[in-house]
Amino acid sequence: MVKRSKSSDRWLQRQRKDYFVRQAQEGGHVSRAHFKLEQLDQRFKLVRSRSRILELGAAPGGWTHYLEQRASQGLLIAVDPLPITSAEATHAISGLAGEAEVDDAIDRILDNRSLDLVLSDMAPKISGVRTVDQARAMDLADIALHGASKWLRRGGSMAIKAFQGEGLEAWLKARKTEFERVQMTKPKASRPESREVFIVALGFKGVEAPEIE
């Protein structure tokens, strides 16, 4: 028998105790992430039945499953290099957000149409070095922002995962020139000890984002 590490044991114990993990299992949801998006949607009214949506960092499919139910008459494009659990009608793209091949695939699917909503649940691979991890997280926020500036309609919305740390406040402030309303929030389904937060930006003004350095 393979002996589990202490960190693995702690993770398993936390999973067993986690209310939202249990709710996801009992409700047949792909993951507890379902409840994060559900709570954001309930508060900010992000998703409508005919919404055209781009979801970045979609694997394993917790948000995808929620969006398929809520935007059943709309268009959903889900992007991730890892396998995504999705329905046949969902346009699942295997690749990294921001890559030219992925952008080209999104352009073909949209066929000159714009999006109502850009979502990102992307997170960096954790190295354990906080400054490095925060820099990677901010890079992912910029990738999501460029997706919004490229395809989002005027008046559209964006909601992305971010992590509290250096650079986030300045990044948040800059978005207020591009959206009518910008807010940082932490859903109840996010673990209290996590630095994870979500940036919700409503009312896109059609302002192009600055180039990624």
Q: Which residues are catalytic?
A: 161
Give the separation between CA 94 and CA 83, rounded to whole angstroms: 7
Q: Give how far the C-alpha of residue 117 lies from the chain's centroid of Cα atoms, to the nearest Å.
A: 11
Coil vs helix vs strand at 141: helix
Q: What are phi and psi of 143, to 5 degrees?
A: -65, -45
- 29's CB contacts (< 8 A; 6+ apart) are 23, 35, 62, 65, 66
DSSP state of 96: -
Complete edge-to-edge strand list for the sheet that includes strand 75-80? 91-94, 75-80, 52-56, 115-120, 152-163, 196-204, 179-185
Q: How many residues does the chain have?
A: 213
Give, as one character, the DSSP assignment of residue 194. Answer: S
